[in-house]
Amino acid sequence: MGIYDRPYYRDDRGAWLSGRSMVVNLILLNVGVYIAQFLFGQPLTAVLALHDDLLARPWQVYQLLTYGFAHDPNSIMHILLNMFGLWLFGTDLEGIYGRTEFLRIYLVAIVLAGIVWVGIEVANERAAELIGASGGVMGLMALYVLHFPRRGFYVWGVLPMPAWALGILYLLMDISGAANPEGSSVANVAHLAGMAFGFAYYTSGMNLGRLVPRRFSDLSGKLFRMRPRLKIHDPQRDARDLTAQVDEILEKISREGEASLTKTERRTLEEASRRYQRRRQ
């Protein structure tokens, strides 16, 4: 059995096929909150919503996250469109980044979109509140477009459009909306902030699961790795050690996604794959 045939490697890249994915969990959570808003009414929505006076009430900082799971209880389309976008863009991205890193990306996009929105509202001295997952969804959309720019969509089920054109269309609409916010109920600024985070995440190659960049991680591993003065070659022991390393790396992929691997870990997988191929010849 090859290293890429191991079950926990397959499960992470196709997690949405093997069980309930993080995308489905997030959709269920949003639907649950939406139902709770119906049951408890405006008081619950007010608690969850992000308010423009957050700086004056820092103890309500939790709203930077909770607003992204609340939707307008008077508009079913609000949650339907956001959940459709979460499913549409999130499914493939979860397969790329893994469940845990995907969740980090989504939540950070929501929080950053909320921070930017609060800053703009304070600067403009407007009294407002924000609810909805669109900041996070727009972050996913930007990341999706950068990964799959030529993938086709049918707008309204009729007009064919590549992903890159769809991304530009949304970008232009949100820029126009942010420039003329009067009378609009759409938080275009939050959308733009979410998109900006998705773009920055992709272009910088960052991984939210690691605070230390890969090159420093590799360097520290070289500096602190203890090596014996005399090396004794034992093929069986070497094989066992390599298998143990591969198992640890594949478990890491299962937890954090393939993008979390360091260069050293990738070289270990390549070496294991080469040895496996030599044994089959």
Residue 88's pLDDT is 93
Cβ atoms within 10 Å of 207's Cβ, excluding its own: 20
Beta partners for 58? none
d(C-alpha 166, C-alpha 155), whole Å:
9
Residue 69 predicted with pLDDT over 90: yes
223 and 253 share one domain: yes
269 and 199 share one domain: no
199 and 148 share one domain: yes
Strands 152-155 and 159-162 turn out to be antiparallel
Instruction: Give exposure, 211-241, as e/b (b: 16+ Cβ within 10 Å).
Output: eeebeeebeeeeeeeeeeeeeeeeeeeeeee
Report whether 86 contacts 137 (CB < 8 A): yes
Task: Examine residue 42 and state whether it is found in any structural domain, yes or no.
Answer: yes
19 and 133 share one domain: yes
d(C-alpha 103, C-alpha 70), whole Å:
17
115 and 15 share one domain: yes
pLDDT tens sequence across 137-164: 999 999 999 999 998 887 767 788 899 9
Residue for token pair 């998109």: 195
What pTM, to 2 d.p., does this model score? 0.69
Task: Examine residue 141 and state whether it is found in any structural domain, yes or no.
Answer: yes
Provide the domain limits for residue 140.
3-204
Classify 50 as helix, strand or coil. strand
The token duo for 183 is 């009378």
DSSP-derived letter for residue 7 is H
Handedness of CA 204, 253, 87, 51 (dihedral sign): negative
Among 12-21, 176-185, 203-212, the least confident range: 12-21
Residue 240 predicted with pLDDT over 90: no
Report whether 268 contacts 246 (CB < 8 A): yes
154 and 58 share one domain: yes
pLDDT tens sequence across 36-63: 998 998 899 999 999 888 888 889 899 9
